[in-house]
Amino acid sequence: MHAARLRPLLAKELAEITGGRALWTMLLLVCPLVGYSFAQAVSLYSEASATASQTPGAATNLSPLDGILIPTFGAFYVAVTLLFPFVAIRVLGQEKESGSLRLLLQLPYRSSTIIVTKLAAVLAAWALVSIPALSALGAWVVLGGHLAPLETLNLVFGHVLYGLLVGSIALFSTTISDSAATAAIIALATTIGSWVLDFTLAGRSGWSAWIAELSLTQTLRTFEQGLLSIGLVLGISAVICGLAALSTVWLPPGVSMRGKIARSVLCLLVTIAALGIATQIGRSFDVSEDRRNSFPSADQQLLATLRLPLLITVNLSPEDPRYIDFKRNVLGKLERAMPNVSVVVAGSRQDFAGQSDAYGQTQYVYGNRSDVSRSTSPREILPLLYALAGVQPPAAAPGAEYPGYPLVVNADATLFWFFGGLPLLIACAWWRSRHPPAVKLVAFEGGQS
């Protein structure tokens, strides 16, 4: 048997996904959703900018990442969570229901090739439905707004991974379901259930916190903070690959149930192992323009030279707002800046009953020296650490401060694009996809005898 060509299979998958109503309907729904969020975000950003212009130094808090990108892509996230499963289900659901899958599985392709091609089609579909959100970025630039390339790309990359994750869940649920309707129920139960899980268990400790960490929404948080975490990227990739592998296992019909279950267990074990390895990779990069996840560069350089182990024992409960603040402003930054940092959270508030003096204290042990502080501010912690290490605090580098990007602008005109122009273009593209050019038919019609 000859080697099968990938191109016709990929072309077929792309044509299938663009030929369905689900994709175009989602695109039309995303336009006003993203457009309204964008206009609201610009309005609020403008108000904050107007206030900042009267307060010296307030402009440094105005970041387009927080003010514009996250709210705009937040609306897109909601659309992907609720609607994208329907689009992704089509790449397999239609073939299952029409019986075409039985033909597809007999073509000279491996099941894994078919699944990977379908995932590629899902990615292409995501790229199409992201057009309104990406056009919002263009609109922001046209309005005179600032975009930092790295943090913008990082955020978009996070949404690509999230889209692929939702797509692979939908694909797997279609593989194990008899109908597209059942697949939709399974996929939505996973995405919406995960969403509910996230805000229900937010701020809890112990098992609740651990379960909340499993929420799909958590995958975006790190990217929204301007961080590119290698462990997170690998973890999400492992889950996507695991779901693709499970889909490959369940796709061929001529395999016994026992065989499928055995292979699924193997896939699950490999995925869990890969996830475990990914969680051990603490390497991350601060790609935010305002360096919100890092100390000033002079401090970063000096902290990187402190090679001895630093043990930090925090006597705060994980749900205490002070701990959350401390983790964001100090602990997370220290873990990225120093080569050898260990953090121990001493326990819940009940553990400190009767020892009210100890609660709130943090102990720092560096080499054979230690100190205690109740502060959660880097302005006090960093000098303490330098003293423990016996080094002089670095001089602040002039001009390194984030300037902020205030902008007072009216975005109402963009609503014409999101509510009129873009939907019209999408409707035209939809119509065009339903009426392909007739030129290519002539050769075959001429062949009739």
C-beta closer to other proteins: residue 20 or 167: 20
Please name which of 114, 407, 62 lies closest in space to residue 252, comparing C-alpha atoms.
114
449 binds other proteins (CB under 8 A): yes
- Cα separation, 26 vs 127, in Å, equals 12
- Which of 44, 50, 107, 265 forms a contact with other proteins (CB under 8 A)? 107
Identify the residue among 256, 280, 356, 368 touching other proteins (CB under 8 A): 256
Q: Which tokens is 383 given?
A: 């000098």
The residue count for the chain = 449
Q: Which of 144, 252, 276, 390 binds other proteins (CB under 8 A)?
A: 252
Instruction: Please identify, using beta-carbon distances, which residue of 56 and 253 lies nearer to other proteins.
Output: 253
Position of tokens 């105005």? 62
CA distances from 310 to 38, 114, 266, 338, 379 (A): 44, 50, 39, 9, 18
Would you say 82 or 176 has its CB closer to other proteins? 176
Between 102 and 374, CB nearer to other proteins: 102
396 and 379 in contact (C-beta within 8 Å)? no
Is the dihedral angle over the CA atoms 187, 68, 335, 358 positive or is it negative?
Answer: negative
Near other proteins by CB under 8 A, which window of 3-11, 199-207, 239-247, 273-281?
Answer: 3-11
Least distance in Å: CB of 271 to other proteins? Answer: 23
Count the site residues for other proteins by CB under 8 A.
41
Please tell me whether residue 446 binds other proteins under the rule CB under 8 A.
yes
Q: Which of 56, 57, 99, 398 binds other proteins (CB under 8 A)?
A: 99
Beta carbon nearer to other proteins, 353 or 439:
439
Q: Is 9 in the site for other proteins (CB under 8 A)?
A: yes
| Interface with other proteins (CB under 8 A), residue from 14, 16, 160, 409 | 16
User: Which of 50, 53, 98, 342 is close enough to bind other proteins by CB under 8 A?
Assistant: 98
Q: Does 448 bind other proteins (CB under 8 A)?
A: yes
Residue 255 interacts with other proteins (CB under 8 A): yes or no: yes
Residue 310's DSSP bridge partners are: 341, 366
One-letter amino acid of 124: A
CA atoms in the 13 A half-sphere facing the CB of 408: 9
Please give the Cα distance from 163 to 80 (Å, whole number).
7
Select from 101-109, 263-271, 364-372, 395-403 the region that touches other proteins (CB under 8 A): 101-109
Task: Pick the piece of the chain touching other proteins (CB under 8 A) from 7-15, 26-34, 152-160, 294-302.
Answer: 7-15
Q: Taking CB under 8 A as the rule, does residue 100 contact other proteins?
A: yes
CB of 448 to other proteins, least distance (A): 4
Pick the closer one to other proteins by CB: 106 or 392.
Answer: 106
Nearer to other proteins among residue 181 and residue 272 (C-beta): 181
What are the distances in angstroms from CA 142 to CA 48, 414, 425?
A: 20, 10, 19
Residue 46 interacts with other proteins (CB under 8 A)?
no
CB 1, min distance to other proteins, A? 5
Nearer to other proteins, 282 or 436 (CB): 436
The reply to whether 443 sits near other proteins by the rule CB under 8 A is yes
Task: Select the residue interacting with other proteins from 28, 105, 131, 384 (CB under 8 A).
Answer: 105
Nearer to other proteins, 356 or 449 (CB): 449
**Contacting other proteins (CB under 8 A), which of 55, 106, 350, 356?**
106
Task: Specify the residue, 112 or 313, whose C-beta has the smaller distance to other proteins.
Answer: 112
Long-range contacts of 195-201 (CB under 8 A, 24+ apart): 195/81
Which of 386, 404, 403 is CA-nearest to residue 395?
386
User: Contact between 432 and other proteins (CB under 8 A)?
Assistant: no
Which part of the chain contacts other proteins (CB under 8 A), choosing from 126-134, 234-242, 344-352, 434-442? Answer: 434-442
Q: Is residue 437 a contact point for other proteins (CB under 8 A)? A: no
List of residues contacting other proteins (CB under 8 A): 1-2, 4-5, 7-9, 11-12, 15-16, 19-20, 94-95, 98-100, 102-103, 105-108, 252-256, 259, 436, 438, 440-441, 443-449
